[in-house]
Each structure stands twice: as structure tokens, then as C-alpha cells.
């Protein structure tokens, strides 16, 4: 067995009708979605990495894991911080933190407390561009009701940008930093606890959904196809290689070439798909079997 230190997973999610991640408003009555513009002018909708990380935290909470309570920053006007206790809280361990504290002396240097997240997250980016589709809506909550001046409250008309397509994302798990390193100066967690936390994260990832704009645009962004590998180097090898053909199938031949290119750094790999969404070609297993194999890598790494 090669000296494994990470797991990389590139995945596909499919949404038929969604407004996944809101952007800044340019017009008062239009709710835009986040988009990145390519060199050819095409705009690809995306879900930001920070939104995905928040969603993963929320899923851990759904599963019964207590999250690190939020408190004020040490510096004035600084970003709020967690309790900064990775030994006690799984999210401080897996997602890291940073807190900058001002110096107690007038001209002294401040200090910072940092844990770099061992879970690396790429944005979930659409593979097809935005075509300008809008959902037209009218809020009639005030119909028949008058304000203090005796005037009838008028309906509120607004539009929301929507998109349909396949989205691609990537995560990289630094196995050797779970429950260790920054924040664990007094001692690492036991291997069993490290394994438990990593498996919990995989369950959160497997059931991923974001709370943003879900009351009217319920969408499932959990993985429906994944290309994963246990690695001796921390390299997201499938990040740009997972492609979908015009007939809607994943181009597995391209992925096999990636495995060949990085063979000496790969301990094991798996391609898995939910057959209800993507067809299963030769060498592609079920989504259930795919996650079971990834879980076995975690258990083997931590000796469980």
C-alpha cells in the first residue's frame, strides 16, 4: 500500500430548475445568481465554496454533531469566530478557523490563531452556460389590505434568475491533518475519533444540500456521479477531467487516462454513478458501492 495522505473526489450534481446561490443585486426587482464569465463570454452559474462549506457544516448539525458556537471577533470590526476548539468541535477540526487579536501594547504586533482547513473545497460550477431564464413572480400578500394612509398595498413584482444543468465540484480531504496539527498542540485525537469525524463528513457530503433559496427552488446538489482516488500526493487530479457528452453520459474513457497519468501516486480509485441520473458505463459502479469504497479507504488509513 502506498503512503496515502489524501482522498480527492470530483463529483457531478444535476438540477432541473434552480437558483442555487444569490449574487449582488443590479436591479431592485431582480434576484441574480452567481456566475463566472469565460473568455468566450459564456456565463457559468456556480455555488461558491463558502456556501458549500456552510452547507456541509449544517448537514453535520442535522446528523447530531454539535457545532462550535459563534462569538465576536477578538478585533473590532473583525469577522465573527467560533470557539476555536478543534479537539471538542468537529467543524473547528474539519473546516478550520482564523482569529486575529490586536496587540495589548499600543505599537505592538497583534497575534493570530489559525487552523487551515484539512477539507479543501472547489466551487460547484455549471457545465452549461446561463441562457437568461427568469422566474416571474408576484407577491400578493398585501392584496385587500390598506396601509395607515388608507391606501391599498400594491402587489410586489419581482424576477429570479434560474438555471438548469449539470454542476461539477471537487473536494480534497487531507487525511493526515484530521484531528492533528494546528489546534492539537497538546496531542492528536485518537485514530478512532479521526475516523469517525471523516466518515461523518462523507455522510454530510453524500447528503449535501444548501439552504439558500430552497423554499421556492428546492434543488438536490448531492453527488450523482463521482470520480475518487486515495492518493500519496495532495492533488485534485479529476478536477478538470470529469466531462459529460452531448447524450448526457460521463466520458469515463477520459477519466481512465487520468488514472494512467497519475498511476504511481494513486493507491486506489473508483468511478460511481446514480443510474437514475447518469448511465453506468463499463468500469463505473453504483453510487452506494462508490461511497462504501471511499469509506473503506478512510477506515484502512486510520486502522479501524
283: left (phi over 0), alpha (psi -120 to 50) or beta: left
Buried b (16+ CB within 10 A) or exposed e, 65-83: bebbeeeeebeeeeeebbe
- For the whole model, what pTM was predicted? 0.90
How much is the pLDDT for 103? Answer: 56
Q: Are 281 and 225 in contact (CB under 8 A)?
A: no
- Give mean pLDDT, residues 34-60: 95
Higher pLDDT, residue 4 or 151: 4
Q: Is residue 191 part of a domain?
A: yes
Q: Is residue 71 part of a domain?
A: no
- The rounded distance, in Å, linking the Cα atoms of 42 and 35 is 10
Q: How confident is the model at residue 101 (pLDDT cuts 50, 70, 90)?
A: confident
How much is the pLDDT for 141? Answer: 73
Q: Are 68 and 85 in contact (CB under 8 A)?
A: yes
How much is the pLDDT for 245? Answer: 87
SS3 230: strand
Q: What is the pLDDT of residues 6-16, one digit of tens each?
A: 999 999 999 99
Q: Is residue 140 part of a domain?
A: no
SS3 26: coil
Q: Is residue 141 part of a domain?
A: no
274: containing domain: 6-65+115-135+159-301
Q: Is residue 85 part of a domain?
A: no
pLDDT above 60: residue 21: yes
Q: What is the pLDDT of residues 157-199, one digit of tens each?
A: 888 999 999 999 999 999 999 999 999 999 999 999 999 999 9
Q: Is residue 81 part of a domain?
A: no
Q: How confident is the model at residue 301 (pLDDT cuts 50, 70, 90)?
A: very high
What is the percent of the chain with per-residue pLDDT over 90, rounded to a whole number?
A: 67
How much is the pLDDT for 107? Answer: 60
Residues contacting 53, CB < 8 A, separation 6+: 95, 117, 119, 121
Q: Is residue 152 part of a domain?
A: no
Q: Is residue 101 part of a domain?
A: no
125 DSSP β-pair partners? 46, 168
Q: φ and ψ at 3, to 5 degrees?
A: -75, 80
Structural domains counted in the chain: 1
Q: What is the pLDDT of residues 220-249, one digit of tens each?
A: 999 999 999 999 999 999 999 999 988 888
- Which of 76-85, 155-164, 279-288 comes out lowest in average pLDDT? 76-85
Amino acid at each position: 500500500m502506498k503512503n496515502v495522505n489524501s482522498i480527492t473526489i470530483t463529483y457531478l450534481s444535476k438540477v432541473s430548475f434552480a437558483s442555487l446561490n444569490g449574487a449582488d443585486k443590479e436591479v431592485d426587482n431582480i434576484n441574480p445568481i452567481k456566475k463566472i464569465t469565460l473568455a468566450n463570454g459564456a456565463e457559468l452559474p456556480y455555488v461558491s465554496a463558502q456556501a458549500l462549506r456552510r452547507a456541509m457544516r449544517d448537514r453535520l448539525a442535522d446528523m447530531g454533531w454539535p457545532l462550535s458556537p459563534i462569538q465576536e471577533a477578538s478585533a473590532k470590526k473583525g469577522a465573527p469566530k467560533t470557539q476555536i476548539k478543534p479537539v471538542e468541535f468537529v467543524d473547528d477540526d474539519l473546516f478550520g478557523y482564523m482569529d486575529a487579536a490586536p496587540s495589548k501594547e499600543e505599537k505592538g504586533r497583534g497575534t493570530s490563531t489559525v487552523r487551515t482547513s484539512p477539507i479543501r473545497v472547489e466551487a460547484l460550477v455549471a457545465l452549461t452556460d446561463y441562457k437568461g431564464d427568469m422566474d416571474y413572480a408576484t407577491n400578493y400578500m398585501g392584496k385587500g389590505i390598506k396601509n395607515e394612509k388608507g391606501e391599498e398595498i400594491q402587489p410586489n413584482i419581482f424576477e429570479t434568475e434560474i438555471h438548469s444543468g449539470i454542476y461539477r465540484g471537487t473536494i480534497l480531504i487531507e487525511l493526515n491533518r484530521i484531528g492533528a496539527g494546528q489546534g492539537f498542540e497538546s496531542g492528536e485525537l485518537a485514530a478512532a475519533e479521526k475516523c469517525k469525524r471523516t466518515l461523518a463528513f462523507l455522510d454530510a457530503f453524500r447528503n449535501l444540500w444548501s439552504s439558500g433559496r430552497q423554499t421556492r427552488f428546492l434543488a438536490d446538489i448531492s453527488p450523482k456521479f463521482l470520480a475518487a482516488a486515495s492518493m500519496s500526493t495532495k492533488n485534485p487530479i479529476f478536477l478538470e477531467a470529469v466531462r459529460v457528452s452531448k447524450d448526457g453520459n460521463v466520458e469515463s474513457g477520459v477519466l481512465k487516462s487520468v488514472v494512467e497519468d497519475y498511476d504511481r501516486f494513486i493507491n486506489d480509485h473508483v468511478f460511481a454513478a446514480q443510474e437514475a441520473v447518469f448511465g453506468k458505463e463499463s468500469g463505473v459502479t453504483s453510487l452506494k458501492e462508490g461511497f462504501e469504497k471511499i469509506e473503506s479507504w478512510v477506515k484502512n488509513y486510520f486502522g479501524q
